[in-house]
Structure formats: structure tokens, C-alpha cells
A and B are shown apart, each in its own frame.
Chain A
Amino acid sequence: MLAYIVKRILSLIPVLLVITIATFALIHIMPGDPSAAFLGLEATQADVDALNQTMGFDHPIVEQYVNWVGGLFRGDLGDSLFLHQPVGQAIAEHMGPTLSLAIVAQAIALLLAIPLGIIAAYKRDSALDQLLRGFSLIGMAVPGFLLALFLMLFVGVKLKWLPIAGYAPLADGIWQHYRYLILPGISLGTIQAALIMRMTRSSVLEVLHLNFIKTVRSKGLRETKVLLKHALRNAFIPILTVIGQTFGTLVTGAVIIETIFNIPGIGQLVINSIERRDFTVIQGVVLFVTLLYVLINLIVDLLYGAVDPRVRLDRK
């Protein structure tokens, strides 16, 4: 197991190398200049040049790249011109809201998707199954931003039950923290729920046809136990894969939902940085997000073994 983990982590190195070179190249191909964006429309060329010089943006690209990668080895992602803070700190600050939102959204998704998916599979082809499948299709088809605006309008503006936008850190109290996350959580979670529900349904359905289910049923086990203990557990690997993927997407920043609900997470950081041409932040975030995504996939792979003892990762 340990050898497997080490191997997986080592295999990250070329991935990250390619990612750093690709982002660095893309950013520098992109027209626009961080100093010009920072100083504004009416700044003179001399002002822009002076700032470029101070910040080292006028050095050759290869030199800038080598300096940046050198910094990475010392754990230094560079400083943001716009935010007046180290990139590492900026990412850490923006990670909190994103993680909180991801957890809320994922909880909503799982609470909806798994039970409904099992019910749909169990009541296969019934009216209920059709209805649930219809809902899941709608869930996947409706864009998140539409749902977000809809929720904002009805729950926030008309009913005034929940705040329409913003974010409160956990330090302000648990309820304060979560009331800002409910609407964005639903907007994000519903789409994920649709995806996970479909996967749960088809996966459970497949298992329900297998002989061992007939066996446990014939020995008189209660249906709930058949479903939850035997069917779900055996059907869980593909479900887990989808959960891992959706969580990876959530945790790496939900750009649109974060923008609409004004949640200062990773997604918003990326968008703002691109608009500001804040190169160091863009590079840092892309690297961080890549790393995170790969790590989540690794964790999911390790969980396969926990869910299904037949899976042995360290064997060829």
C-alpha cells in the first residue's frame, strides 16, 4: 500500500512539470500586462515600465520561469501584486470558503442522491422511478447559474429567508456561516445530485440482478438490509468514483456560483486574477488546483480498497 502511494506521488512530478510549463506559457502568450491593469487606463507607459521593472516582469520569460520554479522548491509561490500578499496566503484564505461550500454542496448532493438512487433502482420502471429519472435529467440539464438566480430571487428577494450573497467565516458562528452557504450549496449540489443519483440507480440495479442478492433474499433477509448492506456496498465503487470527481470539481472552485453568490473562494480568485492579469496568482492557483485534483483521485483510489476488499492497489 505504502509503495503504491509513493509511486502515485512520484508520478505526479512530470504531471506538475507539464502543468507549470503550460500555465506559464499560456499566461505569457495572453495579451495584457499586469502593471497596466494595476495602474489603470490613464497610466503613462513610463509608470507601467517602472512597475514592470520593480516587479521583475521585464525579465526574459525563461528566467522568470526558473525563478518561479526555484521559489516553489522553497515553498514560495511568489507575491501577488494586486492583493499585496503572498500567493500561498491568498490561496489559503480563499480555500476556506470553497471548502465549506464544497462540503455543504456535497452533503446536499449525497443526501438527495443516494436514497433516491436506491429507491429508483428498487422501484425500477415504476411511476416513481420515471419521476425521479425525469428530475435527474432536469437537474443535469438546468445550468447551475439559472437555478442560482432562481433561488436568489425567490428565497432571498421575495421570501427574505436567506441572504442572497456574501460569506461569513466560521468564526462568526455556525448558523451565520451556513446560512450564506445554503443557497449556493443547493445550486451546486442539485446538479451533482442528479449525476450521483443516476450512477447510484444504474449501479444498484446491476447488482440487484446478481445471484448473491437472490441468495440473501432467499435466506429471508429484510429488504432494507438487502439493499443497504449487500446491494449498495457492492455497487459503491462506481458511485464513489463519481463522488470523487464531483467533489474534485467542487473543491477546486465553482467559478460561476461563487461569482453569483459572491463567495470569496478559489473560483472567484481565479477569475479576478485573470481579469487583473495577476500572473503569480494564476500560476499558483492552477498548480494548487492540479495538485488537489490529483490528490482527491488518489484518495478515491485508496478508498476503493476500503469499500471493496477485493481491490488490491499494490498488486499488478
Chain B
Amino acid sequence: MKKWRTGLSLSAIAALAFTVACGNNNSSNAGGSASSPASGSPAASQASAASYKDDLKVAVTAQPPTLDSATTASALALDIAGNIFETLFTLNENYEPTPVLAESYTKSDDGLTYTIKLRQGVKFHNGKELTSDDVVASMNRWLVTSSRAKALLEGANFSALDAGTVELKLAKPNPDVLVLLSAQAAFPAIFPKEVIDSAPAEGITDYIGTGPYKLQEWKQDQYIHLVRNEDYVSPEGEPSGFAGKKEAATPNLYYYFVPDNATRIAGVKSGEYDIADSIPTENFEELSADSGVNLSSYPGGTLTAFLNSSEGAFKNEKLRQAAVAALNADDILLASFANPDLYKLDPGYMNPSQTQWASTAGSEYYNQNDQEKAKQLLQEAGYNGEKIVLLTTPDYSEMYAATLVIQEELKQVGFNVDVLSSDFPTFLKTKDEHSKWNLMVTSNGYQLIPPQLLAVTQSWVGLDDAQVKASVATISSATDSAAAKAEWDKLQGYLYEHAYSAVIGHYNEVVATSKKVEGFSQFVGPVVWNAKVAK
């Protein structure tokens, strides 16, 4: 169950975690920092060999299903795969697309053609030099394997202009195309063309990339061992987000699969592990009291209530509005995340620190906690005591806790509420049987652009609304960002007004590191390629 814990709650976020980052940083931080040679120089690395450990041990919650990034939304998989594979572009800490394997690009005036020049001298782990053929094969595979790419870049195609240049042709202009290429749940890793050509249907298992680490061994159900890629050619620039210089500071990187929370926590305390991810929020205080452990939290995503408007009682809009009116976000979040430092009240569906999309539209419907209004709406809707089923799974404690609080809150205004709880795979199955439930709460990792949100995706909970679809289309094809933002404000307000879903709040993810770890950073997921452990 832990495996999907991250898969669900971090999904896009850590999706970013895919390593890859570093870029030639010629776009964003241009003025400031040239590359600092300090730690990368031979002298420095000799010194570090003496005083730093050769192994960095990371305890993660489960074994990832695959490291083939294009086929998975599991955050865990993407965190690990990010050390092995790189993409054309990635995000810096300001969420701006920054070149990694690309060197530069130009965009045609009609916005339909992107010509991307590749960085020279990049080698795969098998020694082969990266050419446009590899990029074209990998990107075109990604366009048809990743469900997001399929939905948002329909009709797009990559082709090679020469050995060092590729061209992306779009069917219709999309202002977010570089964001989509930079960071996404299923990030577009660049593989050698031969690997793509010989890939079996269930995904690539030949993990050859261009990243700072190579896959040495994957011991089933125990660990993944990565070793430093000695021939790695890093992009230049100060590390920023997933971009900038990547040093592969520690020769060996171990990801241990440790499903038990108590074991991960004890392990980082005892020094068995240097980094432990997904620390349950209820252990936050215990660990912050430990002098040997650093805790860092980073924005994780939203806890959102989704109302099933396709079948059952909540087809009735007034009933949905009554349910949303009854919600007290404070109580729900406290039950789910235990510590007020680890969550935030905010009506936005998008990351509040991402200025392009952060929105407070619909805030009059957020955290209403208005029992009178709810009862009034119930009456207007002519509610006859029909059973309302809340779907949840105890495998995600925050979702489960939130559901139980919501059950209480809905009961208090007169709903007849039942909770349907099962293990995660069963939950997944039941979610698609819309006749069986009326409301569910899930923790969802942040998305980078609104059209990626599950709240506007029909297949998620069956939301079928022409206005929502039209707004998504408008945002996807908007020519300037102000217009896109205005449309998104409208859409977020619309989702609240019609009570299709309601954000309950924003949560932080917590990672524990030993105090001996240096150079570790958090972006929207852990970044370990510059991390080292003092002896």
C-alpha cells in the first residue's frame, strides 16, 4: 500500500523529482551565477573522498513498479529514475523550463513549430553519444505512452533536422508546451533509440539514460543501487530546482524499500539510512526533537473532496452544494495532518507558490462551515434521507481521517452517511464504479498547469460538464498567460460554485535527513545528486 502512497499524493510533484534537471541555465538565472567550480574540481573531490562516505542510503516507502518514467505516475519511481534519466528541459526553482539535454530552442511565429538544438558531447551510460535519433524515438514514444501527453499534446510529432537538432510540430498552439516537456508525472526520459525499438509492451526494462547515475543493481523488494556515471557531462549553472549543475557527489546511491513507517524513522535516527521519505505527520514532533535529524517539509499538494456528479444523489447540484457548505476545512486538515505547521488553508487547486496559476476564485465557497446554509440547501433539494456513501481507503491515513471527519460533518446537517473503506487496489476499482459512491477525498500532488488537474479530468470521477471542457480548451490554447489565468480563475470559481469538487487544504510532505547529509535539497521532491554524507 505504501507504494502507491507516494504515487497518489505526490504524483506530479515528485514526478518532477525526476532528476534530470540541470540546464544550461541560460534563460533564467542568467545574470547571476556562473558555475562555481569549487566542489566539482579534482582537488575538492579528493578532499571529499577522505571525509565523506561512499554510500548515500535513502529509505523509501516501497518498491517502484518500474523506472520507465513515461509509463508511470508513481512519484517514487520518478524520484529514483530522475537520477538515471534526463529530459530535454526541466524546471528550475521558479518553475521555469530550463534546458538540460537541449541547448537552446526557437519557436515559430505561429507557435506550432519548436526547433530544439541538442547539447553536444552528451553520452549514454552505454558509451553511445546522444543524437537527434534517440531524442525523436524517445519523445515520440512518450507522446503516445503518457496519458497526459496524449491528452494535452494531441497530434504533436518530433522529427530530426540533423544529428544535433530536432523539431517539434504541434497540431495546435499550446503556450505550456515547454512546461509539459519539463515536468510531468510521466516525464519524457531520453533513451537510446535501440532501447525504444526493442522495448516490450509492458515497458522498458533496459534502463540506459544520460543522467549522473547508472543503474547498477535492482534487488527485487530490497533496494536499487545506483553508481556514479563517471563519464557524466553536467549542464552548467547553479543548482536550482531540478536544473543546474549535477555532481553525483556520492559514488553509490542506495534506495532501500522500507514500507514500515516506524522502521524508516528508527533507521534515520540510528544512522542506518541517511534520508527517509514520507515521514507521517504525526511523527513530526518526535523527530524534530531528535538532535541528529533534520526535517524538511515541502509543499506536497492538495487534499480535495470530489463529488460524484455523474450518478446517484449528488447528481443533484443543490445536494452537492449542501455538502460543500457543511465542510469545516480546519477540522478536517487537523485530523488528517496532525500539525498546523504541515498544512495550509487555501482555496486554490494549484500550488499557491506558483504565481502564474495561484488563484483564490471561489473562496466564498471554501471552508464555509455553515450548517444553517447546508440544512437550507438540503431542504430546497428535497433530500429524502437517501444514503450518501463516502469512498476511502485506510492505506492513505490522511484520506481516511478526512473522510471520517466529513462523515461527521455531513451527519450533523442531516445527511445519512456511510463510509465505504477498502484497501487501495479495491478503492481504485470502486472509484470507477460511479453508482457505488457519492464523495471521496484524495490527496493529490500539484500539477503544473490547470488542464492536468484531476478535478477537470472526466475520467477521474465522471465530471461531464460542457463549460468545464470549454474552459480547459481555452486555457490550453490561450496565446498569452494573462488570458489563460483569467480563464482559470473563472474555471476554479465554476468548480466551486457547482460543487463538483472542493479543495480542503494544502499539505506538506516531510522528509527526514541525518544531520551529516550535506548538499541535499528539496524542490517539489527530494534532489539527491549533489548530496553527500560526512563520515
Whether chain B is bound by chain A comes out as yes
Pick the most buried of B201, B221, B272: most chain A CB atoms within 10 A of its CB: B221
Q: Which residues of B contact A85 (CB under 8 A)?
A: 220
Given known A83-B220, A262-B260, contact A164–B266 (CB-CB < 8 A): yes
Q: Is the CB of B263 within 8 A of A164?
A: yes
The answer to the question of B228 belonging to the interface, with a C-beta cut-off of 8 Å to chain A, is no
The answer to the question of A71 belonging to the interface, with a C-beta cut-off of 8 Å to chain B, is no
CA distance A39 to B33 in the complex (A): 41
Which parts of B246-280 form the interface with A (CB within 8 Å)?
256-260, 262-263, 266-267, 269-272
The answer to the question of A23 belonging to the interface, with a C-beta cut-off of 8 Å to chain B, is no
The answer to the question of B205 belonging to the interface, with a C-beta cut-off of 8 Å to chain A, is yes
CA distance A33 to B426 in the complex (A): 8
CA distance A66 to B165 in the complex (A): 53
* Chain B, Cβ-Cβ closest to A161: B270
Q: Is the CB of A50 within 8 A of B201?
A: yes
The answer to the question of B308 belonging to the interface, with a C-beta cut-off of 8 Å to chain A, is no
The answer to the question of B131 belonging to the interface, with a C-beta cut-off of 8 Å to chain A, is no
* Chain B, Cβ-Cβ closest to A265: B221
Contact of A37 among B147, B263, B425, B454 (CB under 8 A): B425
Contact of B424 among A50, A81, A160, A275 (CB under 8 A): A275
Q: Which residues of B contact A82 (CB under 8 A)?
A: 65
| Minimum distance in angstroms from B43 CB to a CB of chain A | 34
The answer to the question of A40 belonging to the interface, with a C-beta cut-off of 8 Å to chain B, is yes
User: How many B residues, CB 8 Å from partner?
Assistant: 48
The answer to the question of A93 belonging to the interface, with a C-beta cut-off of 8 Å to chain B, is yes
| Minimum distance in angstroms from A242 CB to a CB of chain B | 29
Contact of A157 among B72, B270, B424 (CB under 8 A): B270
CA distance A93 to B222 in the complex (A): 11
| Minimum distance in angstroms from B530 CB to a CB of chain A | 26
Contact of A33 among B201, B202, B425 (CB under 8 A): B425
Q: Is the CB of A40 within 8 A of B7?
A: yes
Q: Using a Cβ cutoff of 8 Å, how many contacts connect chains A and B?
A: 126
Q: Is the CB of A259 within 8 A of B65?
A: no
The answer to the question of B459 belonging to the interface, with a C-beta cut-off of 8 Å to chain A, is yes
* Chain A, Cβ-Cβ closest to B395: A275
CA distance A55 to B203 in the complex (A): 13
Q: Which residues of B contact A37 (CB under 8 A)?
A: 4, 425, 428
CA distance A254 to B34 in the complex (A): 55
| Minimum distance in angstroms from A62 CB to a CB of chain B | 22
Q: Which residues of B contact A33 (CB under 8 A)?
A: 425, 428-429
Q: Which residues of A contact B11 (CB under 8 A)?
A: 41-42
Q: Is the CB of A152 within 8 A of B266?
A: yes
Q: Is the CB of A166 within 8 A of B262?
A: no
CA distance A200 to B272 in the complex (A): 39
Q: Which residues of B contact A276 (CB under 8 A)?
A: 3, 65, 425
Q: Is the CB of B259 within 8 A of A259?
A: yes
| Minimum distance in angstroms from A292 CB to a CB of chain B | 19
Q: Is the CB of B262 within 8 A of A149?
A: yes
Q: Which residues of B contact A166 (CB under 8 A)?
A: 256, 272
Contact of B202 among A51, A90, A153, A262 (CB under 8 A): A51
Given known A40-B72, A45-B459, contact A272–B221 (CB-CB < 8 A): yes
Q: Is the CB of B221 within 8 A of A269?
A: yes
* Chain B, Cβ-Cβ closest to A38: B65
Q: Is the CB of A42 within 8 A of B221?
A: no
| Minimum distance in angstroms from B259 CB to a CB of chain A | 6
The answer to the question of B430 belonging to the interface, with a C-beta cut-off of 8 Å to chain A, is yes
* Chain B, Cβ-Cβ closest to A90: B220
* Chain B, Cβ-Cβ closest to A156: B270
CA distance A252 to B201 in the complex (A): 34
| Minimum distance in angstroms from A187 CB to a CB of chain B | 13
| Minimum distance in angstroms from B338 CB to a CB of chain A | 20
CA distance A185 to B63 in the complex (A): 25
Contact of A165 among B258, B432, B454 (CB under 8 A): B258
Pick the most buried of A31, A45, A47: most chain B CB atoms within 10 A of its CB: A31
Q: Is the CB of A160 within 8 A of B271?
A: yes
Q: Which 5 pairs from chain A and chain B are nearest by CB?
A: A32-B425, A42-B73, A40-B73, A31-B426, A264-B221
Question: Other CB < 8 Å A-B pairs besides A41-B73, A262-B258, 13 of them?
Answer: A33-B429, A38-B202, A40-B73, A41-B428, A50-B201, A54-B201, A153-B266, A157-B266, A165-B258, A165-B267, A275-B424, A275-B425, A276-B425
- List 18 A–B pairs whose Cβ atoms lie within 8 Å, in order of A's numbering: A31-B425, A32-B425, A32-B428, A32-B429, A33-B425, A37-B4, A41-B428, A42-B147, A42-B148, A85-B220, A152-B263, A152-B266, A156-B266, A160-B271, A164-B263, A164-B272, A165-B272, A262-B263
